[in-house]
Structure 1
Amino acid sequence: MTQHTPPAPKICPACDGFASAAVTLGARDSRGRLRTITVHCPTCLGTGTTPTRHVREGARA
């Protein structure tokens, strides 16, 4: 008996799979390091993939 293989996760169209990025604020702290913040994609919430629609096997579209 064959096993059902789940579909591969789809890449988020908004961030193209690069869900998180470090953005510099343009200033440096007292140690001379660049101040950065981490930003996540608002569409996929930082996962890089979009949820796939679950369709039962054998169901009609």
Structure 2
Amino acid sequence: MPQRAQNTPVCRDCDGFATAAITTGTRHRDGSRVTFRVDCHACKGTGNITRAAALARTGR
């Protein structure tokens, strides 16, 4: 199956996987694990970043 090129730049810190579910090790009464979600600090949970080169263009 062919893959299409991605138009938006992907975050270098999380590689586009901006949110992770982390288990605490404890369980709920029904037996499922207690988890909490953590967002990437660099992209703030979006998975995309703005290109720094486009923002810093100066000169001729």
Query: CA-to-partner distance for each residue in 1:22-59, whole Å, 9 max, x for gaps?
Result: 1101110111110000111010000001023358xxx8
Indicate the structure with greater helix content: 2
Identity of aligned residues (%): 37
Identify unmatched segments of 5+ residues in structure 1.
Answer: 1-7
1:2-17 to structure 2, matched below 5 A, reads: 8-17=7-16
Tell me the residue number matched to 2:18: 19
Identify unmatched segments of 5+ residues in structure 2.
Answer: 1-6
1:38 aligns with 2:41: no
CA distance in 2, matches of 1:49, 1:19: 9
Query: After TM superposition, which residue ranges in structure 1, 4 or more long, deviate above 2 angstroms?
Result: 52-55
| Alignment TM-score, normalising by the size of structure 1 | 0.69
Indicate the structure with greater strand content: 1
Give the RMSD, CA atoms, in angstroms.
2.3
